[in-house]
Amino acid sequence: MADMQNYAAPPLLTHATAKRKRVALNQLPTLPNAVLGAHDEGGGGDDKPVKKQHLLPAAKPEPNAAPAPAAAASDVEEDPQLRKPYASDIYSYLRSTESQATRRPATDYIAAVQVDVTPNTRAILVDWLVDVSEEYRFVSDTLYLTVSYIDRFLSANALNRQKLQLLGVAAMLIASKHEEISPLNVEDFCYITDNTYTKQEVVKMESDILNVLKFEMGNPTPKTFLR
């Protein structure tokens, strides 16, 4: 497909996606420190200068105005789910869930299970997913869940490296549905990969991930314990 066709917005593409870069994963090994966001060299030169905002002067307090009443209690103290006894139970449950074998990847799956996937190819994929997450402003939980889904899937299934990016975007599609208020659709993720994969391939891989992980998608991640 010609360059002009690649950068023409497809009919189903959302407005937010149309202005962002897309790149295939097989281009990344030649760019070890590649950043896929809009701040890339050549990533776009039509950004408009930001207009300065004219701030209104702060209102002066009236001489006889009564002082504002102090808050009786903080939101944390008022919310029963955030009080210490509940927080302790919640984190105990999360730690017990994290220790379950089905909720965490194998530590040696690359050596024990994978034939075509290496630590280097996994690192390239994760770096690319970090850039995608930053470009589309996903919450950090989406990225952590995406990597967790990838590692858990690869712990149980040998995968050809040509399908590694497909696994990555399908895992991020699931994670964004789990965490994002307005997740991207399948067509958006196809566009992100420069249409390397079809909509049917992404949906099929999404189904494979859900079946392998037995729909246990809410597992704790490192971010869960860093709040």
Report yes or no on 202 lying in a domain. yes
The 10s digit of each residue's pLDDT in 177-221 is: 999 999 999 999 999 999 999 999 999 999 999 999 988 888 877
The pTM assigned to this predicted structure is 0.64
In a domain, 142, yes or no: yes
- Would residue 146 count as lying in a domain? yes
Compute the half-sphere exposure of residue 191: CA atoms within 13 Å on the CB side of its CA.
Answer: 23
The answer to whether the beta carbons of residues 192 and 169 sit under 8 Å apart is yes
Query: Is residue 132 a part of any domain in this protein?
Result: yes
Stretch 75-84: mean pLDDT, rounded?
56
* Total domains, the chain: 1
Residue 148: CATH number of its domain: 1.10.472.10
What's the domain range around 129? 106-226
What mean pLDDT value characterizes the chain? Answer: 74
In a domain, 205, yes or no: yes
Residue 45 lies in a domain: no
Mean pLDDT score, 97-117: 84
**pLDDT at residue 13, rounded to an integer:** 46
| CA pair distance 189, 132, nearest whole angstrom | 10
Q: Provide the sign of the torsion angle of the four alpha carbons 88, 218, 225, 227, taken in this order.
A: negative
pLDDT value at position 65?
A: 55
Of 128 and 22, which is predicted with more confidence?
A: 128
E-strand ranges in 74-144 read none
Q: Which residue has the higher pLDDT, 193 or 25?
A: 193
Reference 104, options 140, 147, 138, 139; nearest CA is 147
Domain contains 48: no
Q: Is residue 52 part of a domain?
A: no
- From the number of C-beta atoms within 10 Å of its C-beta (0-12, 13-18, 19+), residue 218 rates as exposed
DSSP 225: G
Q: What pLDDT was estimated at residue 107?
A: 87
What average pLDDT does range 43-53 have in this prediction?
41
